[in-house]
Structure 1
Amino acid sequence: MGQDDIVLYWCGKKLPEVKNYEYYTQQTVFPCANQNTLNKPLFQVNNQLCLGPDHEVMAWLLDNGYQNSFDCIYIDPPYLTDSDYYAQIKVDTPGGTQRVKQRVFRDIGYRNLASYLQHIYESIAMIKELLSEQGSLFIHLDYHSSHYVKIILDEVFSPQRFVNEIVWCYGGGSGTRRHFHRKHDVIFWYSRGADYIFNPQYRPYSPGTIQRGLTKVKGDRYKLDSRGALLQDWWHDIPKILSPTANSNWKFPTQKPVELVQRILQAATAENSLVGDFYCGSGTTGEACENLGRRWVMSDNSIYAIQTSIHRLIRSSSRPFIVSSTQPEPSPPGDLSVAAEYFSNLFGNELTISLQSYQPKDNRPPSLAWIDFWEIGWLNGENFISLRQVIPAKRGQRVPDWVSLKLDEISQPLAVQVWDIQGGPVKMPITLL
């Protein structure tokens, strides 16, 4: 380190220690929520969703051939807000509509600043090793922590690898009368090398500019570009998700608009790029990658985040993906009863499966209303092969409790897996009648 280098020090600062972690594949999902068949499609599975702390997931990736593999990594870590973040969903139960409130994560705030800085420091150091030579990191922050993290980024990547500070402006109400309303986030963009991927992005011209048919740049007049005006680092055209009834609102705290992440990926990835997100939340990055045809690896330390991401990817008919964990599968959150009947008719073999009852292990009464969505598939050892998913018309509404499927033959043990609305799967092997 040179005498002119500026670094940030805190109590306990140390370089990251990359340890070896186990990686447990729990299921492989072939999203197919609207078809009445149960035959395994022949698709190569390239995308991964992992439950586990970001450091454990990244350490496993580095130990298993992913070094220098990611063209873009977008992360939206905690901001030092000293807050609890809850997901709230209305559930239609037999006793009426209930509001389910589930804590998703805890942001420790400034009370443990050194721990926060050490965690971010280790994350950024491992991300740099995962990035390809043409890769970029985009880290989404706000005023609580951006000034600290910028110095860490300069230390790990060097100031020469800083590309942009993107300012995302958004609307929404605020009750404060003691300061200006805080209505923007920042996204720091750092590249691994000098030859990073960049595809210029464009925005529509203003109505006045279109009417004139010309644009003025430093006093000169130029013809309009058919693609629009070159996008700047001040983004005010993508609104925050505010409407509680919007189809894009997954009722997940800190959820970002898919248009925001999609713009980043359009600018910093190529057609075959691999994208990472290790604080994936509701799975926005996965949906953006699916829209653009990018490969992805996402992770989160919250089972509720993983569940929301699975539900979201199923609903959007994504490509197949693997669900794994850095920890063995936890005990199920409830007890499930299932009935199944298999018979042959003139139209082939048919399987009817119905959910009979569900009893949560907490103080909630027994009801199928607590089921977020459910899946049907094969058991391949510990790996559940999800081939048919049953989802509600809208999250929180009653999910259909039976389904009839056509299938060629039963070559492996069948199973049903339901997801509790408060987080966690319950797997049940099927006994045919």
Structure 2
Amino acid sequence: MPIKYIPYTPEPIEGQALLDNFTRTLRYKGNYDIKGKLIRGMPLYEMQTVETFGDKEKAKQNLVIRGECVSACAYLKEKGILVDLVYIDPPFASGADYSKTVYIRQNPKLAKALKQAEEELEIEDLKSFEEKMYGDVWNKEKYLNWMYENLCAIKSVMSETASIYVHLDYHIGHYVKILMDEIFGEDNFRSEIIWKRATAHSDSGFFGNNYDMIYFYTKSDSAIFNTIFQDYDEKYIARFKYKDPDGRLWDSGNPTAKGLQGGGYDYEYDGYRTLWRYPYETLKKMDEEGRLYRTKNGGIRTKVYLDELKGMPCQALWTDINAVNSQADERIDYATQKPEALLERIIKASSDENMLVADFFGGSGVTAAVANKLNRRFIHCDVGINSIQTVRDRLIAQKETPNHVRGDVNFSVLEIKDGVSLFRNPVQTMEKLKSLVPGLGKMEGLSDFWAGCIESIKDGTVPVYLPDLKNSECKILDKPFMSRILHEHLGNLPFTPSRVIIYYVDVVDISEIEEFVKADKSTLAKIEFRDLKELLDDIVIEDTADFEVSEIQEELIPEYKLTIKSFMSDRVMRHINAYNQKCELNSKGKKFKPIVISEEGLELIEWISVDCTATEGEWHSDSEIKIDKLGFVIKNGIKTKEFWDGAIKSETKPLRLKIRNICGDETVWKV
């Protein structure tokens, strides 16, 4: 249950109606459903600190939050934290499913043999399979309600000088633009940025959609904006055809004020009288510095040097930033990853150093990583554990920059305790939930609202509702939502049920909901309410590991070595077995090479950390290693060309061990 609800907007002044700014201009089915939630406010949940990196005080200014956008905004508003710039790259309602490639790591024994032979594995030699990260499959109306609620929440935590950039594409962008006009005001719309993210599509049936749009709004007229300059094109540079003896290129400039608003300075200079744009003393100084030249007819012109110009002010058409290709150094194999150059331009334009930059659909963590490099504070928020792990590892491993020294990384990893124990991400959690409801099956003609039906000898066909964890509007069961179930979804069933099962994550007051159903009298079916958290508790089955700790002596300095003797993950093995079965079916009798895991199972490990500080509570990563897909070790964020030997070392005795398998699940053991 939420601790309380936080208003979406500041409290209204006396005499002002609370919902004056919630009048909907975009009319579509269900667009009034959001009204009750906006009146109720953002749910505030307990926040747990999972990990802290660097200086504890500085780490409080940089947050990596696992949870939903609305709940994160409730926390920020409760803490009085205002953000200065927001960039979000939310789902595009494109109908696409996004997956990540999961690479099987090398058995340390094989890695040792490769090292002795001074060989390296090629990418083509690696064994891998695909795992679904999230599905961008939305009903348009639900998507727009979801976006409206998120945008209102985000606006609630924006400072008066803040800006917001919303990254979308042609599927839904034009609808969201109208929502943003309503929420942020048409007068605060600044640009529709067109980013050419790909070259021409040779397979396009019509005109290829090779661009995204980024909608840029400000909170007010006083928003921060720094002009970004780009290099001049060759056509413009060709204008600089004059050259000084020292090789400097220049073009002819006009020193007169003719045609300029505001007038100029009327005087005679070197026998030439006109209205000048510079005072006499300035023009004379320019002449002494050799910045004036005389034309054949006696006129005076200025020299405009190419090397003194800042560049062309950036326009709203961005064709000079390439998408992250397969060979890019910054590529981290994360679906929907955006290039750092894109975020660098946005962050430099709409924030100054030490300002707070937020991304509430953080994904690969590019916003946080670039903000940190540019000496800004950051907030990264996402519901997927892979996103949190990716940005965590990315921040730790950041390269040195003039303002960023390796190791000088300060941030906190937080988790919103909203009762939803997600398994990796909402999509995979929903798939597992359906398998945990005894007897649940599909039924032809049943709408997507229902998870399925249970066939009961006593009650016949029983429809079952599971809250969609991908959609925050389904999280809380209240009277408006219950009314929709009674009057819309029950009425659309292809049969008349005698019993209905409704699972919920949170409920305002279950006895109040039961009384509401009883008083409604629109159905004779018995409504049975069940707490979804009882199912969620059964989703995460921990991995198993066998390990031993020994004290060693390295260059006269005592160290501890924790060796992983064996590791097993039922969850990952189910994926691998399913992959092998699918390949065998598709092979059509031809030989194929299945993925085979060694008896020790160490190929299933991606990352290991030991806590030498505490036996419980917040995690302290006193020593950690990450095994990349080629088998090389990244030690405490620093890449090496060493192969993993199956162990991890620490200066002091380990108290806890944490292992992340190749799919992203993490399990903790006491040592």
Pick from 99, 103, 111: which aligns with 1:90?
103
- Residue of structure 2 equivalent to 1:156: 183
Percent sequence identity is 26
- Which protein, 1 or 2, shows the higher relative CO under an 8 Å CA cutoff with sep ≥ 6? 1
Q: Is the 8 A contact 2:615 2:656 kept in 1?
A: no
Residue deviations 1:67-105 (CA, integer Å, cap 9, x gap): xx1000110001111111101143344597321312111
SS at match of 2:42: coil
Q: Is the 8 A contact 1:332 1:424 kept in 2?
A: no
Give the superposition deviation at 1:380. Answer: 6.2
Amino acid in the other structure paired with 2:72: V
Matched, 1:234 2:317: yes
SS at match of 1:383: coil
Q: Is the 8 A contact 1:47 1:295 kept in 2?
A: yes
Residues 235 and 333 of structure 1, relative CA distance in 2, 3 Å threshold:
farther
Q: Is the 8 A contact 2:85 2:358 kept in 1?
A: yes
SS at match of 2:620: strand
Residue deviations 1:271-317 (CA, integer Å, cap 9, x gap): 11011111111111111012101111111111122122222222215
Q: Is the 8 A contact 2:622 2:650 kept in 1?
A: no
- Residue of structure 2 equivalent to 1:58: 73
Distance 2:541 2:199 in 1: 39
Q: What are the residue-to-residue correspondences of 1:197-212 with 2, within 5 Å?
A: 197-212=224-239
Q: Is the 8 A contact 1:342 1:349 kept in 2?
A: yes
Residues 302 and 175 of structure 1, relative CA distance in 2, 3 Å threshold:
farther
Give the superposition deviation at 1:56. Answer: 1.9
Distance 1:416 1:154 in 2: 50
Q: What are the residue-to-residue correspondences of 1:375-386 with 2, within 5 Å?
A: 375-377=609-611, 378-379=613-614, 381-386=616-621
Q: Is the 8 A contact 1:54 1:279 kept in 2?
A: yes
Matched, 1:107 2:136: yes
Amino acid in the other structure paired with 2:58: Q
Q: What are the residue-to-residue correspondences of 1:125-274 with 2, within 5 Å?
A: 125-172=152-199, 174=201, 176-213=203-240, 224=306, 225-243=308-326, 245-274=327-356
After superposing the two structures, state which structure 1 stretch, 43-52 or 92-101, moved more.
92-101
- Residue of structure 1 equivalent to 2:117: none
Distance 1:379 1:315 in 2: 24
After superposing the two structures, state which structure 1 stretch, 146-155 or 330-339, moved more.
330-339
SS at match of 1:357: strand
Amino acid in the other structure paired with 1:405: S
Pick from 319, 335, 343: which aligns with 2:409?
319
Pick from 347, 351, 359: which aligns with 2:560?
351
Distance 1:116 1:75 in 2: 15
SS at match of 2:76: helix
Residue deviations 1:151-179 (CA, integer Å, cap 9, x gap): 10010111011111111112246353411
- Residue of structure 1 equivalent to 2:442: none
- Residue of structure 2 equivalent to 1:373: 607
Pick from 26, 43, 47: which aligns with 1:23?
47
- Residue of structure 2 equivalent to 1:44: 58
- Residue of structure 2 equivalent to 1:35: none
Distance 2:395 2:62 in 1: 11
Q: What are the residue-to-residue correspondences of 1:334-349 with 2, within 5 Å?
A: 334-342=543-551, 347-349=556-558
Distance 2:251 2:182 in 1: 41
Kindly indicate which of the two structures has a greater share of residues assigned to strand.
1
Amino acid in the other structure paired with 1:24: Q
Residues 200 and 376 of structure 1, relative CA distance in 2, 3 Å threshold:
same
Pick from 266, 272, 275: which aligns with 2:357?
275
Q: Is the 8 A contact 1:372 1:396 kept in 2?
A: no
Distance 2:252 2:193 in 1: 24
Q: Is the 8 A contact 1:240 1:256 kept in 2?
A: yes
Distance 2:86 2:130 in 1: 31
Amino acid in the other structure paired with 1:248: E
Distance 2:252 2:354 in 1: 38
Distance 1:240 1:345 in 2: 45
Distance 2:170 2:204 in 1: 18
Distance 1:57 1:371 in 2: 31
Amino acid in the other structure paired with 2:79: N
Matched, 1:425 2:507: no
Matched, 1:296 2:378: yes
After superposing the two structures, state which structure 1 stretch, 123-132 or 205-214, moved more.
205-214
Residues 345 and 164 of structure 1, relative CA distance in 2, 3 Å threshold:
closer
Q: Is the 8 A contact 1:91 1:396 kept in 2?
A: no
SS at match of 2:614: strand
Distance 2:199 2:97 in 1: 20
SS at match of 2:58: coil
Residues 172 and 353 of structure 1, relative CA distance in 2, 3 Å threshold:
farther
C-alpha RMSD over aligned residues: 2.9
Residue deviations 1:222-273 (CA, integer Å, cap 9, x gap): 6545321111111111101122x43211111111001101110011111110
Q: Is the 8 A contact 2:73 2:156 kept in 1?
A: no
Distance 2:251 2:393 in 1: 46
Size of the alignment, in residue pairs?
A: 408
- Residue of structure 2 equivalent to 1:9: 27
Amino acid in the other structure paired with 1:212: R
Give the superposition deviation at 1:424. Answer: 2.0
Give the superposition deviation at 1:6. Answer: 7.7
Normalised by the size of structure 1, how large is the TM-score?
A: 0.85
Residues 295 and 247 of structure 1, relative CA distance in 2, 3 Å threshold:
same
Distance 1:369 1:345 in 2: 27
Distance 2:601 2:251 in 1: 63
Kindly indicate which of the two structures has a greater share of residues assigned to helix.
2
- Give unpaired runs (5+ residues) of structure 1: 31-40
Amino acid in the other structure paired with 2:610: I
Q: Is the 8 A contact 1:81 1:107 kept in 2?
A: yes
Distance 2:561 2:252 in 1: 67
Distance 1:126 1:215 in 2: 51
Q: Is the 8 A contact 1:332 1:425 kept in 2?
A: no
Which one has a bigger Cα radius of gyration? Answer: 2
Q: Is the 8 A contact 2:56 2:410 kept in 1?
A: no
SS at match of 1:263: helix
